[in-house]
Structure 1
Amino acid sequence: MQKLLILKKIIMTDFKKILDRAKELESKMKESQEKIKNIEVEGVSGVNSVKITLNGEGEIIKLELSDEIMNENKAIIEDLVIAAHNNAKIKLKSKTSKKFQKPQVVLVFQVLNGHYN
């Protein structure tokens, strides 16, 4: 009976450590999400005729069209806007994956393996 109580105490202690580490991980992930919101990237096309700025969540926060581009036909402008948006998305994906995704993955494995302090 005493061995069962000792075993139960060990299990509960380990479980509490896991929960504490999970809370730390959640806090760090929320912090990373806030940092991501503040990221801005600019995509361009047509020799800077179209510029699109995205925030870290992928929302368009700014669109700039040069005066010269306004003389083009609608289809060309549409294509340039799409190209600038795609350019910005590529930059955003690159920037966020370098800064945030890899450390979080490492942190998850550290928590799961009990190596995170």
Structure 2
Amino acid sequence: MSGDNEIFPRSSIIQGFFETALPCDATKEQIMEWVAHNLGAGGISIDNPLSKHGMEALNEPILTDTRLYLHQKAERSNKGWTIHSWKENTPFTGPDPMEVVYGGKQTINVDADPTDE
């Protein structure tokens, strides 16, 4: 990535690479589950030998700008809310979908049925 002071737009998709050491023996599947869990991208099975261990980076992460941006839209149906996500090559400028779902600071939901208010 370029300079340390460069500002990246909201929704920038950044790849991160770092090294970590396994605290115990584990299969590739268990490691994938452990990494995803520690990065907030999923749960971890209580049977996973790594479940009682945190993950620590051994070095400063190497970051790469993918030049892609995450776009998201909250959609409500009679079954509840769905967050649709996709990648584009322009920054996302819409409302934060979680603010739409939970009210937050977002007061206008352009996808909402006006009779629901």
Higher strand share: 2
Higher helix share: 1
TM superposition score normalised by structure 2? 0.25
Specify the structure having the higher radius of gyration (Cα): 1
